Structure 1
Amino acid sequence: MKMYVKFDFNALCKKILDEKLKEHGLKYRLLNFGEVEFYETLTQEQHKTFKKNLEDYGIEIIENQRSTLVQKIKDIIVKLVFSEEVIPVKASIYIAEKLNHSYGYLSNLFSEVTHTSIENFIILQKIEHAKELIIGNKQSLTEIAHKLNYSSVAHLSTQFKNTTGITPSQFHRIVMKKRKAKSLMITSQMNYE
């Protein structure tokens, strides 16, 4: 039997972070996603142990302000792209308002730290979400394009192909072939037993 699951990475990370903080007996409160306020100062040993414990889950503590701001930009973009509702404003306006900085400043900082643009990061996140939605097989490409704020299916298809090397339709066919092959394999194994 096979089961397909969908992950809410924000909820997953928040739960792990909460559990690990409690496990270490630290007094804290979770602010925004990826932001923790401690009620007491951590010793160097507590900081080191906690940092190592989080790294086992792929969660890293950000040490400097520039990296922190870039991570906030990424978090906002992921939340924006993976949101169930369509945000009616441009991403640049949304990001600038959320972080209370000019978009030009945020864009330059993001490019300096990550060596890619905010726009490119948004496209990559949209394509990852489009893949998830295609794999979920519950929405048409038109619905997916609308959900991801593309002006048309053609625009989505162009960016999808530029990013992955194949069109969304080709990706869908590959997913369906793999499902069918696995289903046939499972059926034949069950019949063989």
Structure 2
Amino acid sequence: MSKLYIKNMVCDRCIRAVKQELEKLHVHPKEVALGEVELEKPLTSKQSEQFNSRLKELGFELLDDQKQKQIEVVKNLLIQKVQQGEIPEHFSISEFLSKSLKKDYINITRLFSEVESTTIEQFFILQKIEKVKEWLAYNEFTLSEIAWKLGYSSVAHLSAQFKKITGLTPSDFKKVGGIRKALDKI
């Protein structure tokens, strides 16, 4: 079984276009979904070269598994940091990731943005907001305790960011029994 990752697939037409290109190479994919192709066996180097060239002409890009693995490592580090619930107020994502991965942050952030179409910082904020929702839903902490635990400079800063992302204030979220997202869906 072989998996390919393809950037810029955003609709059903993209899926059909990728399937057609594979069929032209006499390759019959097991499954084609947004951003992913599952094959019974890997492409030959000639097929891979032709497929990649054709994808670029169509506005897609074949990503190698190594890039995807690096992105997953970044996501997992940030998710773990948020789930610990002990983020210092002046926490630096760049220092944390550079130190953890022993890589230059500029390269990490460039790869992340290229693959995920969002910034590392935005991903981190979304993770923190989901943690806030969890704590609010279970009445585990006061809003000021949550702000302190997640490294916000103030309750006002947390509330403003929460409203910007969810459209609700934290207290409104509690009143309506707000909806949370699975971490892998963020």
Query: Does the pair score TM above 0.5?
Result: yes
Name the CA distance, whole Å, in 1 between partners of 2:93 and 2:138.
Answer: 25
Does the Cα contact within 8 Å between 2:132 and 2:146 map onto a contact in 1?
Answer: yes
Paired residue for 1:140?
A: 142
What is the CA-CA distance between 1:92 and the residue it aligns to?
A: 1.6
Residue 158 (structure 1) shift: 1.0
Equivalent AA in structure 2 for residue 155 of structure 1: H
Cα RMSD after superposing both structures: 2.2
Question: Which residue is 1:153 aligned to?
Answer: 155
- Tell me the equivalent position of 1:104: 106
**Gap regions ≥5 residues in structure 1:** 1-44, 46-62, 177-193
Query: 1:174 Cα deviation (Å)?
Result: 1.5
**Ranges in structure 2 where 5+ consecutive residues have no aligned partner:** 1-39, 41-63, 179-186
Q: Which residue is 1:91 aligned to?
A: 93
* Corresponding residue to 1:171 among 170, 173, 179: 173
> Where does 1:28-177 land on structure 2 (aligned, <5 Å)?
64-87=65-88, 89-175=91-177
| Number of equivalenced pairs | 117
Paired residue secondary structure (2:135): helix
Please tell me the residue identity of whatever aligns with 2:156.
Answer: A
| Distance in 1, Cα, partners of 2:135 & 2:84 | 13
Q: TM-score w.r.t. structure 2 length? A: 0.58
Q: Which runs of 4+ in 1 moved over 3 A?
A: 84-89
Identity %: 43
Amino acid in the other structure paired with 2:73: K
Q: Give, in whole Å, the separation in 2 of the partners of 1:89 and 1:134.
A: 22
Deviation string 1:134-161 (CA, Å, 9 cap, x unpaired) is 0110211000011111111111111111
SS in structure 2 of the partner of residue 162 of structure 1: helix
> What amino acid maps onto 1:153 in structure 2?
V
Post-superposition Cα deviations, 1:13-57, rounded to whole Å, max 9, x if no partner, equal xxxxxxxxxxxxxxxxxxxxxxxxxxxxxxxx9xxxxxxxxxxxx
Q: C-alpha distance in 2, partners of 1:125/1:100?
A: 23
Which structure is higher in helix share? 1
Normalising by structure 1, report the TM-score.
0.56
